Amino acid sequence: MAGPHILSFGGKTPLVDPAAFIAPGARLIGDVEIGPEASIWYNCVLRGDVNRIRIGARSNIQDGSVIHVDSPKPGNQEGLPTLIGEDVLIGHLAMVHGCILHDRAFVGLGSIVMDGCVIESDAMLAAGAMLTPGKRIPSGQLWAGRPAKYVRDLTPQELAGSQAGVAHYVALAKAHSAALSLR
């Protein structure tokens, strides 16, 4: 199995904390930084070619997800980076583009988060949802649908479950890393 591909682009090389896990088949390109105990799973693409991507400590980007950014352009000279805080869960096959996910945000599998969106701390975008450009999910809320809309407030049990998921993925990444080192 091929290892991860870490590629320089535009004079920028991805920076990966030594305690992070980058699965074989993942692609990190350009201005990408990965924090400690974060995990980037099999066949993910993080393409920081025209702006920056930041992934905080213990966050995980699950299999097949794509993280990209928006280019600078007239009217928005900075463009839109993708900034992902700490302890964020991003489910399998998610598309996250030019947005901000605060600490402890949750993006369900198969979801799309579009340009200029913000998912606040302890907020959740349900599986299969599409958060259209510029939308903001306030802390403690669950949004679902295409386009995503407010559904209800999250329960304390659901918030605790998300944090248990973060701990699970930190441990799982260590187990995968150990298994791969035995090959």
Domains parsed from the chain with CATH numbers: 5-181 (2.160.10.10)
CA–CA gap between residue 173 and residue 57 (Å, rounded): 13
Q: What is the pTM of this model?
A: 0.95
Q: Which residue has the tokens 């598309």?
A: 95
| pLDDT at residue 3 in the model | 64
Average pLDDT for residues 54-77, to the nearest whole number? 95
Banded model confidence at residue 103, pLDDT cuts 50, 70, 90: very high
Q: Mean pLDDT across the chain, nearest whole number?
A: 96
The answer to whether the CB of 123 falls within 8 A of the CB of 140 is yes
CA–CA gap between residue 52 and residue 67 (Å, rounded): 10
| pLDDT at residue 65 in the model | 98
pLDDT of 60 strictly over 90: yes
| pLDDT at residue 76 in the model | 87
Q: Which residue has the tokens 């799309």?
A: 112
pLDDT of 157 strictly over 60: yes
CA–CA gap between residue 69 and residue 30 (Å, rounded): 11
CA–CA gap between residue 55 and residue 126 (Å, rounded): 20
Long-range CB contact pairs, 165-170, < 8 A, 24+: 165/89, 166/58, 166/59, 166/60, 166/87, 166/89, 166/104, 169/39, 169/58, 169/60, 169/62, 169/89, 170/37, 170/39, 170/58, 170/60
| pLDDT at residue 2 in the model | 59
pLDDT of 183 strictly over 90: no
For the stretch 3-34, pLDDT in tens is 669 999 999 999 999 999 999 999 999 999 99
| pLDDT at residue 31 in the model | 98
